[in-house]
Amino acid sequence: MPNPDLSNMQIENLLSAVTDALLAEKTNIDAISRQYQIPRDEVDSFVRVINRLHLALVGVQPSRRFVRRLKQDLVGVPNRNVFSRVRHLPPRVQIAAGIALVAGFMFLSRRRMVHDIQQENQEVISA
């Protein structure tokens, strides 16, 4: 007498294999069915249902507007300015960047100041 558990397992495996084949648009259903000892009538009754499901359940797409708006609400507009990049740097790099910025500013101010003094001196001499 056939073991009902074994037979159930066989048909479960067959149905999964047939469904995968149909979803992949393969037509070798007969070849798959022959690998299992399931009566042909029974297989056919399931194949009809699987085929109908395959044709009826088709994917839908959300509207582009909805997708774009939700993304904006969730993550906002990407922020790629200098400050946002510096904020993600390690503290020692942030400190170094700060020192370099201040030093640069001081260098420029000093150069400008020296330039102004030289100009004043020249004006005094020429006067």
Residue 36 is a binding residue for other proteins (CB under 8 A): no
Q: Is residue 67 close enough to count as binding other proteins by CB under 8 A? A: yes
Six-digit token pair at 13?
């495996």
Please say whether the beta carbons of 29 and 21 come within 8 A. yes
Size of the site for other proteins (CB under 8 A): 40
44 lies in the binding site for other proteins (CB under 8 A) = no
Residue with smaller CB distance to other proteins, 31 or 49 = 49
Binding residue for other proteins, selected from 1, 2, 27, 75, defined by CB under 8 A: 75
Binding other proteins (rule: CB under 8 A), the pick from 34, 37, 39, 70 is: 70
CA distance 9 to 27: 23
Distance CA 56, CA 79 (A): 44
Quickly list DSSP for 5-63: HHHHHHHHHHHHHHHHHHHTT---HHHHHHTS---HHHHHHHHHHHHHHHHH-------
Binding site for other proteins (CB under 8 A): 8, 11-13, 15-16, 19-20, 23, 45-46, 48-50, 52-63, 66-67, 70-71, 73-76, 78, 85, 88-90, 93
